[in-house]
Chain A
Amino acid sequence: MTSLPAIKTRGLTKRFGEFTAVADLDLRVETGTVVSLLGPNGAGKTTTVRMLATLLRPDGGSAQVGGHDVVHDAAQVRRLISLTGQFAALDPNLTARENLVLMARLRGRGRRDAADVTERLIERFAICEFRDRLVKKLSGGERRRVDLAAGLIETPHVLVLDEPTTGLDPRSRQIVWSTIRSLVDEGVTLLLTTQYLEEADALADRVVLIDHGREVASGTPAQLKTQVGAQRVDVIAADAAEFERLRVLLDDRFEISTSAEQRTISVAAPDEAEDLARVAAAVAEDGIAVDEIALRRPTLDDAFLALTGHMAHDEDEMPSEVAA
């Protein structure tokens, strides 16, 4: 077989008591590609990657990494996979540099060799200014960079990043993204979990949407975007009566979805700025009072709505963003 998939699961299932975290998941990541597992909190993303990294034992189905079964051949799998989780997997009482040296030595490198690879990683991940600070004293973004570096001491056959930018400030997020891009350019096979549609779009070749531990849709970002709509125009009505007028007006001319509680009407905007202008003109013409009209990127909610016809289940975690 020439094209053995880097990751392949069949009917993968994990339960915690009554709760089914992952249900009958079939996942396939071809070698050299980037697949993003996209879903809200509690969708089963972390449970899935923990099973792939041999940290959790599946209750049903099977999973293979590089052709090796994660249960029966766990030792082989651990040689091939590198997982960087959403919580820093570093020793808080060691410095950034000491952590990297330790991980390198645990991977079988000698003292000098470990020091050399650590220097290269420190440079590559811009760790230099805080290399000798204890990890427990680092900021979230700094820690994440050290964490990523620790996962890349050997170039793994499969790199798994679990929500690499969740909770990071925009600047750290940019640094992490550019690091991931350069890894992707080198041809690393990557499975990336995220809650951000934007992130999956920016980094992945293929996106798998999951919810309640099940796959609900999959495709290339381009395919998903055609279905979701590249951007949207959100219009917030001044009050409930205006909301009704607005709904009637826009429903006539555009493809819309509505949220009565937030008095918001969301309009698909394939032509982006031009659509924004059209919507604004229509609203002005009829003299409807609105609080806000803004162009924005589609969120995970929009994707779920467009692809599955219902919202992601995790309502409180995903406030709809109405900023442009």
Chain B
Amino acid sequence: MTAVRSTALLTVRSLRAIPRVPERLLDVTIQPIVFILLFLYVFGSAIHVPGVSYKDYLFPGIIGQSLAFGIIGAGVATSHDMAEGVIDRFRSMPISRLSIISAQVMGQFCEQVLGMTIVVVFGLILGWNPHLTAAHAVELVALMVFAMLAFTWMGVLLGMLVRSPDAMQGIGFIVIFPLAFLAGTFVPIAGMDAVPRAIAQWDPISALVGTVRGLTEGVSSSGSWQLGHPELAMALWCLVIIAVCVPLALRRFNRTLAG
């Protein structure tokens, strides 16, 4: 049994659950849509960003936020999935253990892609106008896919480290939720107070949002090296996340919980 084949089989297994438990998709579909409506039609009226319509300013932020929230979603799902008896069956079978985790990542990744597609389509319907050349569009998709992969690995690792899906929700709310806001997601970083501005300048999600904004609007930001070079910064962040999370996730999976 090659690792690739078992990964493929196990990924198909995770994907089969989507139509059978559709409520699992709520966090990657309904949640971003609520944020879009809230910021576009409620808070947005009071936010003015010079040189760009708020609609065009908002969607890159929403995309960055959705990516960040993907960590929470992947973590909650993983801590739930890993508690299922079937994982023990897989672990005691002669298949590569990396393939069990890879399949978990692939399943979550597909959910993220599905969610992101819905967000983008919804944005276009509402009149978002990403000023993209074909080359930039390709670059954007490639970078987003890379980022989603890295963030999913991070979520899967966190999901294996926490004790319960509730604990993962808690971490998400305390750590990831603020970081998703402190990133020039909804308002420009330059106008923030000193402390949040300092955080936002080095928040990885700023690099994500900056990348999308740079490619769609040609808007660039400054204030830190990261904000000046969002694409490079984002690629580095993702590489670091993958380099750290993949081995840790595998190690965590090989050691076991009590039972």
Q: Check B129 for interface membership: any CB of A closer than 8 A.
A: no
Alpha-carbon separation in the docked complex, A94 to B10 (Å): 12
Say if the beta carbon of B195 comes within 8 Å of chain A.
no
User: Which residues from chain A contact B259 at a C-beta distance below 8 Å?
Assistant: 46-47, 50, 55-56
Considering the complex of A and B, which 5 residue pairs feature the smallest CB-CB distances, nearest first?
A89-B89, A89-B85, A93-B17, A53-B92, A78-B94
Known contacts: A91-B86, A107-B93. The answer to whether A102 contacts B256 by CB under 8 A is no
Give the chain B neighbours of A82 by CB distance below 8 A. 92
- B2-13 vs A: 1/0 string, CB under 8 Å? 000010011001
A133 interface residue, CB < 8 Å from B? Answer: no
A70 to chain B, nearest CB (A): 11
Docked pose: A55 CA to B100 CA in angstroms = 14
Given A78-B93, A78-B94, A106-B93, answer yes or no on A55-B88 (Cβ-Cβ < 8 Å): yes
A93 and B20 within 8 A (CB)? yes
Chain B interface residue bracket vs A: 20 to 34
The answer on a CB contact under 8 Å between A54 and B90 is no
State the CA gap A103–B88 with chains docked (Å).
13
The 15 listed contacts between A and B (C-beta, < 8 Å) are A54-B92, A55-B259, A78-B93, A78-B94, A85-B88, A91-B86, A92-B84, A93-B16, A93-B21, A105-B9, A106-B93, A107-B1, A107-B94, A134-B20, A150-B89
Query: Interface code B28-45, partner A: CB below 8 Å = 1, 0 otherwise?
Result: 000000000000000000
Q: How far, in Å, is A135 (CB) from chain B's closest CB?
A: 9
Q: Whose C-beta in chain B lies nearest to the C-beta of A90?
A: B86
Distance in Å: Cβ of B101 to nearest Cβ of chain A: 15
Minimum CB–CB distance for B28 against chain A, Å: 18
Q: Is the CB of B95 closer than 8 A to any CB of chain A?
A: yes
Contact in complex: A106, B20 (CB < 8 Å): no
Q: Is there an interface contact between B85 and A90, defined as CB atoms closer than 8 Å?
A: yes
Q: How far is the CA of A91 from the CA of B11 in the complex (A)?
A: 13
Question: Is residue A284 contacting chain B, with contact meaning CB distance below 8 A?
Answer: no
Most A CB contacts (10 A, CB to CB) among B21, B85, B92, B259 go to B92
Contact with B along A98-114 (1 / 0, CB 8 A): 10001101111000000
Select which of A55, A87, A150 is within 8 A of B91 by beta carbon.
A55
Q: A160 vs B89: C-alpha distance in the bound complex, in angstroms? A: 12
A102 adjacent to B258 (CB under 8 Å): no
Q: Let me know if B94 and A102 touch, CB within 8 A.
A: no
Kindly identify which residue among A16, A57, A87, A106 contacts B85, using a CB–CB cutoff of 8 Å.
A87
Taking each of A54, A79, A105, which has the highest tally of chain B beta carbons within 10 Å of its own beta carbon?
A: A105
Once the chains bind, are A106 and B91 in contact (CB under 8 Å)? no
Which residue numbers of B lie inside 8 Å of A, CB to CB?
A: 1, 6, 9-10, 13, 16-17, 20-21, 84-86, 88-95, 255-256, 258-259
B-binding residues in A (CB < 8 A): 16, 46-47, 50, 53-57, 75, 78-79, 81-83, 85, 87-94, 98, 102-103, 105-108, 134, 150
Most buried by A among B10, B86, B90, B91: B86
Residue among A16, A91, A103 with the highest chain B CB neighbour number at 10 A: A91
Q: Known contacts A83-B92, A90-B89, A134-B20; decide if A108 and B1 are in contact (CB<8 Å).
A: yes
List chain A residues, Cβ under 8 A from B89.
83, 89-90, 103, 150
User: Which residues on A sit within 8 Å (CB–CB) of B90?
Assistant: 106
- Which residue in chain A gives the minimum CB-CB distance to B91? A55
Q: Contact at B256–A55, with CB atoms within 8 Å?
A: yes
Find the B residue at minimum CB distance from A105.
Answer: B9
Contacts of A81 in B (CB 8 A): 92
Besides A91-B17, A94-B16, 10 new A-B residue pairs in contact (Cβ under 8 A), listed by A number: A46-B259, A57-B255, A88-B85, A89-B89, A90-B86, A98-B16, A103-B93, A106-B10, A134-B20, A150-B89
* CB-based contact A89/B86 at 8 Å: yes
A92 — nearest CB in chain B belongs to which residue?
B84
Which residue in chain B gives the minimum CB-CB distance to A49?
B92
B249 to chain A, nearest CB (A): 17
B53 vs chain A, min Cβ distance (A): 43
Complex Cα spacing A90 to B16, Å: 14
Nearest CB in chain B: distance from A72 CB, A: 13
Q: Of all chain B residues, which has the CB nearest A53? A: B92
Alpha-carbon separation in the docked complex, A79 to B92 (Å): 9
Would A91 and B256 be within 8 Å (CB), given that A55-B88, A107-B94 are in contact?
A: no
Smallest CB gap from B95: residue in A = A106
The distance in angstroms between the C-alpha atoms of A85 and B13, with both chains bound, is 21
Question: In the bound complex, how far is the Cα of B85 from the Cα of A90, in angstroms?
Answer: 6
Chain A residue with the shortest CB-CB distance to B24:
A93
With both chains docked as a complex, state the minimum distance between the C-beta of A77 and any C-beta of chain B, in angstroms.
9
Which of the listed residues A16, A83, A93 has the most CB atoms from chain B within 10 Å of its own CB?
A: A93
Contacting residues, chain B, for A107 (C-beta < 8 A): 1, 93-94
**How far apart are the CA atoms of A16 and B258 in the complex, in Å?**
7
Which of chain A's residues have a CB closer than 8 A to the CB of B9? Answer: 102, 105-106
Interchain CB contact (< 8 A) of B13 among A47, A102, A108, A150? A102
Chain A nearest Cβ from B51, distance in angstroms: 49
Complex alpha-carbon distance, A207 and B90, angstroms? 29
User: Nearest chain B CB to A152's CB is how many angstroms away?
Assistant: 12
In the complex, the chain A residue whose C-beta lies closest to that of B255 is A57
User: Which B residue's beta carbon lies closest to that of A135?
Assistant: B86
**Which listed residue, B1, B17, B94, B256, touches A56 by the CB 8 Å rule?**
B256
CB distance from A317 to the nearest CB of B (A): 18
- In the complex, which residues of chain B have a beta carbon less than 8 angstroms from the beta carbon of A106? 1, 6, 9-10, 90, 93, 95
